Amino acid sequence: MKAYVLHEAGGVENLVLSDIEKPEINANEVLVETKAISINPVDVKVRPHEEVLNMIMQTEERPVIIGWDIAGVVAETGTDVTGFKVGDKVFGMVNFPGHGKAYAEYVASPADHLAHMPENCSFEDAAATTLAALTALQVLQSRVKKDDRVLIHAGSGGVGHFAIQIAKNLGAQVITTSSAKNKDFCMAMGADEHIDYREVQFEEVLNNIDFVLDGMGGETLSKSIKVLKDGGGAVSLPVPDFPEDVIKEAEARHLNVEFILVTSNGTDMNTLKEMLEAGTLKPHVSKTFPFDQLQDAHRQLESGRTVGKAVVTV
């Protein structure tokens, strides 16, 4: 089979399309013939840096195959697998954090990392509704309740556009930030209020926020906690280490400021499946690339201008 192999961290040219052996599966795994792959910011962050690559992949061995988001067709099932059969259409985030090996024509996945694809969903849309959607779900489902005022930064991005929809499904009032050109998109996702971060300092116009989802970190996080009500909460996705000023203010005002790393979870994938079936969650795929142009998909993500998701078809 063909797969993109990374012998060492570096630029997109280090993603080398190679012929390798089809993976063998364990008793609890299924072999998926990949039809679509989703590319995430974490993909382009781990690729250039050995230390980050080792941390997320949980191995220092080389070569590695990065990527975690897949949609495809079950080609083989392990002896202990009862929930899937050959021919089933499935989607999921495989072994995250860990060695997902998703940039390949066939992927071995633990069965409990997958869900059946909804009948009303394409492979591209299913692949898009994995890591980014799981991140939004795992952050919001236990932290946001009806009538909460929720601030979601970067609402036009992968996590952001899912987070707007999920927060609305939970009954929250959603305020989001993005550039002015993406305002209509964010509002169409369900946002109640939009702030153009290039023209307006959100911390000067907002207050009494119950919860902030911050995908930016740094100064954005420091400003975000200032708009939280006492006892409010924030999740920052980029880094687990918070500035001293954030830690001090959180302690003084009883703020719950956390770092969250999404994890593979078949139960949560089934929640996303149900939302897709009901039409309460809709992925936006703005760019699609063929498998032999996967490097270009990385360049697209590196531009920082992707609205919604970028997907590679296999």
Query: Same domain, yes or no, for 167 and 233?
Result: yes
Query: Same domain, yes or no, for 194 and 306?
Result: no
Interior/surface letters 38-55, b for 16+ CB within 10 angstroms, e for the rest: bbbbbbbebbeeeeebbe
Query: Same domain, yes or no, for 7 and 125?
Result: yes
Residue 273 maps to a domain: no
Average pLDDT estimate for 117-134: 97
Average pLDDT estimate for 298-309: 95
Residue 195 maps to a domain: yes
Query: Same domain, yes or no, for 99 and 114?
Result: yes
Query: Same domain, yes or no, for 189 and 71?
Result: no
Query: Same domain, yes or no, for 10 and 79?
Result: yes
> According to the model, what pLDDT value does residue 100 have?
96
What confidence tens digit (pLDDT) does each residue in 245-303 have? 999 999 999 999 999 999 999 999 999 999 999 999 999 999 999 999 999 999 999 99
| Domain span including residue 159 | 133-259
Structure tokens at 214: 């911050």
Burial class (CB in 10 A: 0-12, 13-18, 19+), 252: exposed
Burial class (CB in 10 A: 0-12, 13-18, 19+), 231: exposed
Residue 96 maps to a domain: yes
Residue 186 maps to a domain: yes
Average pLDDT estimate for 177-184: 97
What confidence tens digit (pLDDT) does each residue in 34-66 have? 999 999 999 999 999 999 999 999 999 999 999
- The rounded mean pLDDT for the chain is 97
Query: Same domain, yes or no, for 196 and 101?
Result: no
Residue 68 maps to a domain: yes
Query: Same domain, yes or no, for 249 and 174?
Result: yes
Tally Cβ neighbours within 10 Å of residue 58. Answer: 11
Query: Same domain, yes or no, for 79 and 151?
Result: no
Q: Model's pTM, two decimal places?
A: 0.97
Strands (E), the chain: 2-6, 15-19, 29-39, 69-77, 89-93, 106-110, 114-116, 149-152, 173-178, 193-196, 209-214, 228-236, 256-259, 285-290, 309-313
Residue 264 maps to a domain: no
What confidence tens digit (pLDDT) does each residue in 185-243 have? 999 999 999 999 999 999 999 999 999 999 988 899 999 999 999 999 999 998 788 98
Average pLDDT estimate for 14-25: 98
Rounded-to-integer distance, Cα 25 and Cα 28, Å: 8
Structure tokens at 207: 């207050």
Average pLDDT estimate for 113-134: 98
pLDDT band at 132 (very low <50, low <70, confident <90, very high): very high
Q: Is the peptide bond before 243 cis (omega within 30 degrees of 0)?
A: no
Rounded-to-integer distance, Cα 299 and Cα 260, Å: 26
> According to the model, what pLDDT value does residue 146 have?
98
> According to the model, what pLDDT value does residue 169 have?
97
Q: What percent of the chain has pLDDT over 70?
A: 100
> According to the model, what pLDDT value does residue 213 have?
98
Domain of 64, CATH number, reads: 3.90.180.10
Quick one: residue 284, left, alpha or beta (phi over 0 = left, psi -120 to 50 = alpha)? beta
> Within the chain, what is the greatest distance between any pair of CA atoms?
59
> According to the model, what pLDDT value does residue 239 have?
79
Interior/surface letters 119-142, b for 16+ CB within 10 angstroms, e for the rest: eebbbbbbbbbbbbbbbbbbbbee
Structure tokens at 291: 């498998």
Query: Same domain, yes or no, for 223 and 293?
Result: no
Residue 271 maps to a domain: no
Count structural domains, the chain. 2
| pLDDT exceeds cutoff 90 at 313 | yes
Domain of 143, CATH number, reads: 3.40.50.720
Average pLDDT estimate for 142-147: 98
Query: Same domain, yes or no, for 146 and 244?
Result: yes
Residue 274 maps to a domain: no
